[in-house]
């Protein structure tokens, strides 16, 4: 939020003052308010009707969001905030939404020629604790890891119970032939990024993304590596972030990597990374790109929520959501307090999206 300016005039008593103190008072009275350096401009806030939404219907959606214990909801239309509910300035763990953040960094350094998507794990000297990678597994490329198609089914840090239970057996699928949502791929990509670029993930994100797009709350103290060395040498990389900073990141993708005339992420990468290379859910029409879920136009999922149009998104523990709907010019952020014990709201989060989309005054 914008900080109020300091008042230039200072109140003081008429009691006699020592000459030194009197000089100090006059200096303070005449001094200008100190400049606040690096203040991030707020995202523009508008009334729902200004961008084609009904305030009355959105009030119903807001009441429902509160009923299901949502922590924060933000929605932007064409870069303008028309929904900002709850604790939008509170930092919550991103969980798996860490993956699109790393994908953005890959795009930036790929654009500079620092990352070769065709490089194999053998060429990069990437391995893991015993049982180590096989010769065939080491033929997997950086691009295949980004697509979660490495065929490497080694144990990984930060795997959920469901992920470990559904993980295929080692060697079942050769690299590049099958999709499996694989934390080994995502974690190894963190190791590879730092090895080939010489940059640390969190520091690079701060320098390359957070600062250029004016994230208000990002702090390196909120980021940490998560090691499970009995499973793998490659750690997970965890971020905590506010809804309003997530909204800026989503807006960067909506703008095809450009922020106020500066190309932060190559546009080619935005298009490349949000293209489906695998089918995640054929019935619903959801695919997977480079660490983004991709909704194909005209499929069940898009027909239910997006008027048959496409988009891309990622979730954290299936609850936290970052969605970008380019044809609707929308960025949607959903947060839930998952720091302690919590009850998964389940399908209620999808119902909330439906209520918000149905609050439009006309289809856009």
Please report the DSSP string for 326-361 in residue order. Answer: GGGTEEEEEE---SSS----TTHHHHHHHHHHTTBS
**Per-residue pLDDT, 354:** 95
Q: What parts of the chain have a pLDDT lower than 70?
A: 1-41, 363-364
**Contact yes or no for 106/115 (Cβ under 8 A):** yes
**Per-residue pLDDT, 42:** 76
Region for 171 from its dihedrals, namely left if φ exceeds 0, alpha if ψ lies in -120 to 50, beta otherwise: left
**Per-residue pLDDT, 41:** 66
Nearest CA to 124 out of 134, 139, 106, 112 is that of: 139
Radius of gyration (Cα) for the chain, nearest Å?
24
Per-residue pLDDT tens over the stretch 198-256: 999 999 999 999 999 999 999 999 999 999 999 999 999 999 999 999 999 999 999 99
Task: Give me the CATH topology for the region 59-357.
Answer: Beta-lactamase (3.40.710)
Give the integer Cα–Cα distance in Å for 25 and 12.
8
Give the integer Cα–Cα distance in Å for 311 and 143.
21
**Per-residue pLDDT, 21:** 40
pTM greater than 0.85 (yes/no): yes
Q: What is the DSSP letter of 97?
A: G
**Contact yes or no for 213/252 (Cβ under 8 A):** yes
Tokens of 323: 């969605």
**Contact yes or no for 126/271 (Cβ under 8 A):** no
**Per-residue pLDDT, 71:** 98
Per-residue pLDDT tens over the stretch 250-302: 999 999 999 999 999 999 999 999 999 999 999 999 999 999 999 999 999 89
Query: CB 320: neighbour CB atoms within 10 A?
Result: 25
Give the integer Cα–Cα distance in Å for 324 and 33.
40
Q: Which residues pair with 9 in a beta bridge?
A: none
Residue 305 Cα distances to 42, 168, 323, 331, 353, angstroms? 29, 32, 12, 14, 7
**Per-residue pLDDT, 150:** 98
Q: In what order do the strands lie in the sheet with 72-77?
A: 80-86, 72-77, 330-335, 320-325, 311-316, 293-295, 286-288, 278-281
Task: Report domain extents, the chain.
Answer: 59-357
From the number of C-beta atoms within 10 Å of its C-beta (0-12, 13-18, 19+), residue 351 rates as middle
């Amino acid at each position: 939020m914008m900080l109020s300016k300091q008042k230039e005039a200072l109140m003081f008593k008429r009691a006699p003052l020592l000459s030194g103190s009197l000089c100090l008072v006059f200096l303070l009275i005449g001094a200008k308010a100190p400049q606040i350096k690096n203040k991030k401009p707020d995202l523009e806030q508008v009334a729902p009707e200004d961008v084609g939404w009904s305030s009355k219907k959105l009030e119903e959606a807001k009441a429902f969001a509160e009923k299901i214990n949502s922590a924060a909801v933000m929605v932007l239309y064409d870069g303008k905030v028309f929904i900002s509910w709850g604790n939008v300035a509170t930092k919550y763990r991103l969980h798996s939404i860490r993956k699109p953040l790393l994908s953005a960094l890959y795009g930036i350094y790929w654009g500079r020629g620092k990352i070769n998507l065709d490089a194999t794990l053998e060429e990069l000297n990437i391995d893991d604790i015993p049982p180590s990678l096989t010769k065939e597994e080491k033929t997997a490329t950086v691009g295949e890891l980004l697509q979660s198609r490495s065929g490497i089914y080694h144990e990984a840090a930060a795997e959920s119970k469901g992920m470990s239970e559904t993980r295929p057996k080692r060697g079942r699928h050769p690299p590049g032939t099958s999709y499996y949502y694989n934390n080994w791929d995502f974690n190894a990509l963190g190791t590879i990024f730092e090895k080939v670029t010489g940059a640390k993930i969190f520091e690079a994100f701060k320098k390359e993304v957070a600062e250029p797009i004016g994230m208000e709350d990002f702090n390196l103290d909120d980021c940490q590596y998560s090691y499970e060395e009995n499973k793998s040498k490659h750690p997970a990389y965890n971020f905590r972030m506010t809804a309003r900073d997530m909204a800026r990141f989503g807006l960067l993708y909506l703008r095809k990597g450009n922020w106020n005339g500066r190309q932060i992420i190559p546009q080619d990468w935005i298009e490349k990374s949000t293209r489906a290379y695998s089918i995640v859910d054929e019935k619903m029409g959801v695919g997977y790109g480079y660490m983004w879920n991709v909704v194909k136009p005209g499929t069940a999922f898009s027909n239910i929520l997006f008027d048959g149009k496409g988009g891309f998104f990622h979730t954290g523990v299936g609850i936290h959501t970052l969605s970008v709907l380019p044809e609707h010019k929308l960025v949607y952020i959903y947060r839930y307090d998952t720091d302690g014990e919590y009850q998964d709201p389940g399908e209620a989060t999808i119902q909330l999206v439906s209520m918000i989309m149905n609050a439009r005054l006309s289809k856009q």
